[in-house]
Structure 1
Amino acid sequence: MSIQPSTPMSTTDAQRTEAALRRLAPKWTTHIVHTVAKYGPEMRVSDVAQHFPALSQSYVSKRLATTSTDGLVARDGEFDRWAPYRLSSAARTLGPVYRALTQWSSDHIDRTPQGRYDRVETAMHRLQLTDTTETVRLLSERGSLRLTHLAELLYSPPQFAAARLNRMQADGLVARADNRHGAPYLLTDAGRALGPVYTALQQWEHRHSGAAARAVPAAERTIGAPAQSVRTAAALRRSPAPSALFSHPPVPQPRVPAGVTPAASFSYSYGR
């Protein structure tokens, strides 16, 4: 079977992907979507609150209202406090996004046992901060960048770029090439493995914004070159910069562990 050519991620793509992450990342959003999917199709605030005993009903009501504003749930009676919520079409197609986040996290970030939806929310918390996606895109294209150069490309004050890089380093997405002061930053294995996550997010966002979906299947695209260990500065000087985001020949993706793979049909998205 022939493989279609891939398309690099642009700055606009990165901004739209980051905006999609911000819609999905607020705490409890993934759990609420899962709860309505599993116990719906329609649920009142009190019905949802029963599944979150640690949260007050008023807090659950506020979270549902915010989730509605973000286009993930809807209700027929906008001003009827008793009207039930149901999942939007956007929420009903989140399965590929949640699967990609779950596998990326379990493979590269946190291998400790934890609930699938806690894992998804933790992963999104790492990725949704301003300029994180664009920083990953730039490092994928350039191979490595010093702080001052990256700040220029982000049109950002150096102190803001430094704060973002420090956070991304703590989250395991970037690393310094060596221990010298001013050493350039480059992507870690986890940062390089974000291709399927970004692809799933782009396809989901395009599907529900009316934009044309990418031609290349998610399973056929990853970031830059295949994942590898952080290289030394000498190796960086010897090696060419990795190709643009999603623009290299595809590599097979690892099978999802049995404990992570959701079932088929709509329940595949959330599990039972």
Structure 2
Amino acid sequence: MVLFVCNLTTIDFSWLDPLRGLVGESLIVDVSLTGELDEQSMVMDFSLVKKEIKKYLDASVDHALVLPLRNPRVTCTCCAERVDVMLFSDAGKVDCFVSGPAASFLPIDAASIETTELEKWLNKKIKEILPANIDDAAITLRHEEHAGYYYHYAHGLKKHAGNCQRIAHGHRSTIQIFINDKRDAYWEKYWAERWKNSYLMSENDVVAASQLSAKAQAVYHDKLLASAYTSSQGYFEILLSHEQVEILPDDTTVERIGCFIKQEIGRLNPQLGHVTVHAFEGVGKGARI
């Protein structure tokens, strides 16, 4: 017998890709469990499915940077509960460097972070925490279905008390823009293209190379921008190519992101009239400005 739960949760995370660099992602999680009925005449209590599997996802992949350990252009070094990650270009130069507490990263045995690879890894791990009467578990990951434009972005929120403080987590977010109360496809497409596979960095978190750790300084070069901060979970650093980074004047919360988009549209075209921005942070949540 198969028990299923659609829309169990949403996971927001980032992953490293040799072509796209650091990619923010949001995926909806569905789950199905195959097994025999227990003494309650259930495969598993729905409340326990939601509680146990969501708890595991929150502790592993959600708000983490997922690393393909079998990709030759990715290196991952662990030392004293810290992890240093590097993504190299074809020419052997560092395109991305991320350093932080080990809990901020999820290494998986894969050459790339395709949805199917992540599903395989999660399915194997989920089976280990389920009751003995369950023979099989299947996690299915899917994107939000919508008509419109979206962008992938990564960021870190140093003031956040939870896992959003991790410097390289991310989202896949839709964007809705209204000019004089009418949806405007031009501006939605504009932002989808401007922030395709982007990293949104707060101006307050930009640092000079001299302020970085010795390891970060060793790989730094003039094609990279650097950000670093200390938050409640520890010390974080990130180096990324100038082309991938947009520097915002404030924190990169969804509220501030929405304000930035609205102000930037006004700067680019002061004659537009009333602008309303619906900025999303992943699936089904965001800010209206």
Q: TM-score when scaled to structure 1?
A: 0.22
Structure (1/2) with the larger strand percentage:
2
Q: TM-score when scaled to structure 2?
A: 0.21
Structure (1/2) with the larger helix percentage:
1
Higher relative contact order (CA 8 A, sep 6+): 1
